[in-house]
Structure 1
Amino acid sequence: MFISRAVCLGIRLCLTTLQRRAEIAGMKRSELDLPNKTWILPEDRTKGRAEHLVPLSDLAVRLIEEALELQSGSKKGAGEAVFPSPRDKDESIGAGTLSHAMADLTAALKIEDATLHDLRRTGATGMAALGVPPFVVSKVLAHKDSGGGAAVTARHYNLYAYASEKRDALDRWSKRLEALMLEPAPNADATQVAA
């Protein structure tokens, strides 16, 4: 099994930003403001058909910068796509590319029934465990407000983007991910090894 470094970075960005696989796969340079650590998904690229601001953690910025750096050595040069198709530097890889790589990865690790969408669920649960309010988790995930008068108010009258709250949530999540990556594997108990 071979998964390219760019696709690995795409999977890691799915976990770090908690955005949908198609949004990650289709990421464009023009959507990014790395000095200000933001990614603005245009309405035509979101499931909810509304522009979505994604504050980027330091980890997310590093992953994106690495993906962009991979293009600097390309014979084709840098294109608009952060994760370019092998056939056209300005066209993005398909969302299926990330899904297939995730399936290969989970199969190699003998993990059953794990998908990229599960990373969003894990991240949402993880942020909640870190004290992020459910409403903010929903904003990070770009879920539409649903039902009743509160939804009407949220959709049509409250135009606040919750950028600072989303940034705090994604920064907390990113720090947790980095801590998990640095934690040593637990030592096996001697009695368990013998059994």
Structure 2
Amino acid sequence: MPLTDIAIRKAKPGINPKGEPTSKPYKMGDTGGLYLEVVPAGGKWWRFKYRHSGKEKRLALGTYPDTGLAEAREKRDAARKLLAAGVDPGEQRKAAKAAGEERAANSFEVIAREWFAKHATVWSQGHSSKVITRLENDAFPWLGNRPVADITTKELLATANRIVDRGAVETAHRVLQYCTQVLRYAIQTGRAERNPAAEVRGALPPVKQTHHAAIIEPNAIGGLLRAMDAYQGSFVTRCALRLAPLVFVRPGELRHAEWAEFDLDAAQWNLPAEKMKMRQPHLVPLAPQAVAILRELHALTGRGRYLFPSARSPQRPMSDNAVLSALRRMGYATDEMSGHGFRAMARTVLDEVLHFRPDYIEHQLAHAVKDPNGRAYNRTAHLAERRRMMAAWADYLDTLKAGGNVVPMTRKVS
């Protein structure tokens, strides 16, 4: 039976609805998941019971008499509307609190944080950090308090142009992209009806395409390898430098490498999906040269978590600038070589000099590769061929380092 104001007023703490003394809280049910919880200390709390993603949850809706029966039902109905749109009202409240309890529940910042929380679970930690930092620095100061349904094309463009004016054109495009996704999410969850970001398309200056600096000429590669072998910095950094061209993973994947991911006897490195840009597990066959470096390094850092621990704390990986700084100390300028450059080096030389199949190379680079039937390759696809490729690549690097016969670069004729 639905509750009445008279029944609520008559409810006494410590006396249950049957008139019996009790030292426990008891509930007085209303409709639609709403109930009043009467606690022995004297409080009367409104609660809303609901299910989301298969889990039973509860949401506090205020205390009686500050929140009357009619208002409690209004709050329940609002929460049910969010559920109907696929939104967990409890999580929406947390996002509202993070954005400031006094802000409207449909402000841009509240919905953006809600959108972020929903997607961050499948993003890498590095990407998640970039997204929320860009929103907090470049969007929330101007759009955060605005009701999401009232945001205009002019406001979005002004927000993006502030970023352009400081010379960060690519960041402006990124922030506008995030705003577009937040506004699309607001439409999907019933908090807005149109996306003004669609009308900003083409209004920003184009991003100049830049490529990570890389050394790809064989003779120059040989000089780089010799310089890395002679590096006078820390042993850990020197091992990271020497391993980088042999595995050509992304810099973040290399510096976060953990000993638990390696099977040196099987000569392979198994990277879990959460560390990968494409959110798919990745397998790196290790050439004998790579295994030799790792066994040497294991004697120093093998009892810890990371291959390349920070000099300040073994609980953290080395700085993301460690390899880059080492390259600069060795005399390689920003426009000559970068941490990402080892990937471009391998891609180019494996294709144009050693003539391995492009799909083997792309798969080893952990790029999205599909078979002729459109199915994504799994982590072990063409593993035998990739093992041979990685061994041949390591042997070729040894030849270059020794200053031996260099196979000239050849361009394919299409």
How does the TM-score come out when normalised to structure 2? 0.39
Between the aligned partners of 2:393 and 2:299, the Cα distance in structure 1 is 25
1:89-168 pair list within 5 angstroms: 89-105=314-330, 108=331, 112-128=335-351, 129-145=353-369, 150=372, 153-155=374-376, 158-159=377-378, 161-168=381-388
Q: Percent identity?
A: 24
What residue in structure 2 maps to residue 71 of structure 1? 301
Match of 1:48 among 248, 273, 278: 278
Between the aligned partners of 1:42 and 1:120, the Cα distance in structure 2 is 19
The one-letter code sitting in structure 1 at the alignment partner of 2:338 is T
Q: CA deviation at 1:161?
A: 2.3
8 Å CA contact 2:399, 2:405 repeated in 1: no
What residue in structure 2 maps to residue 193 of structure 1? none
SS at match of 2:374: helix
Between the aligned partners of 1:116 and 1:134, the Cα distance in structure 2 is 22
Between the aligned partners of 2:382 and 2:404, the Cα distance in structure 1 is 35
Between the aligned partners of 2:233 and 2:253, the Cα distance in structure 1 is 19
Q: CA RMSD in A?
A: 2.5
Q: CA deviation at 1:70?
A: 2.7
8 Å CA contact 1:81, 1:92 repeated in 2: yes
2:228 is aligned with 1:14: no
The one-letter code sitting in structure 2 at the alignment partner of 1:124 is R
SS at match of 2:270: strand
8 Å CA contact 1:103, 1:115 repeated in 2: no
Q: CA deviation at 1:127?
A: 1.1
Structure 1 stretch 81-90 or stretch 54-63: which is displaced more? 81-90
8 Å CA contact 2:350, 2:356 repeated in 1: yes
Q: CA deviation at 1:153?
A: 2.2
The one-letter code sitting in structure 2 at the alignment partner of 1:23 is E
8 Å CA contact 2:328, 2:334 repeated in 1: no
1:154-190 Cα deviation digits (max 9, x unpaired): 32xx54522112111111100001111222699xxxx
8 Å CA contact 1:79, 1:89 repeated in 2: yes
Counting helix residues as a fraction of each chain, which structure ranks higher? 1
Q: CA deviation at 1:99?
A: 1.9
Between the aligned partners of 1:109 and 1:87, the Cα distance in structure 2 is 26
What residue in structure 1 maps to residue 201 of structure 2? none
Structure 1 stretch 177-186 or stretch 2-11: which is displaced more? 177-186
What residue in structure 1 maps to residue 313 of structure 2? 88
Q: CA deviation at 1:86?
A: 1.8
How does the TM-score come out when normalised to structure 1? 0.79
Moved over 6 A (4+): none
Contiguous gaps of at least 5 residues in structure 2 = 1-230, 407-414
Between the aligned partners of 1:90 and 1:133, the Cα distance in structure 2 is 40
Change (3 A) 1:181 1:50: same
1:75-108 Cα deviation digits (max 9, x unpaired): xxx2011111123323211322222222322xx2
Between the aligned partners of 2:332 and 2:254, the Cα distance in structure 1 is 23
8 Å CA contact 2:359, 2:369 repeated in 1: no
What residue in structure 1 maps to residue 393 of structure 2? 173
The one-letter code sitting in structure 2 at the alignment partner of 1:126 is V
Task: Select the structure with the greater relative contact order (CA < 8 A; seq sep ≥ 6).
Answer: 1
Change (3 A) 1:21 1:111: closer
What residue in structure 2 maps to residue 192 of structure 1? none
Structure 1 stretch 116-125 or stretch 85-94: which is displaced more? 85-94
8 Å CA contact 1:26, 1:94 repeated in 2: no
> How many equivalent pairs are there?
174
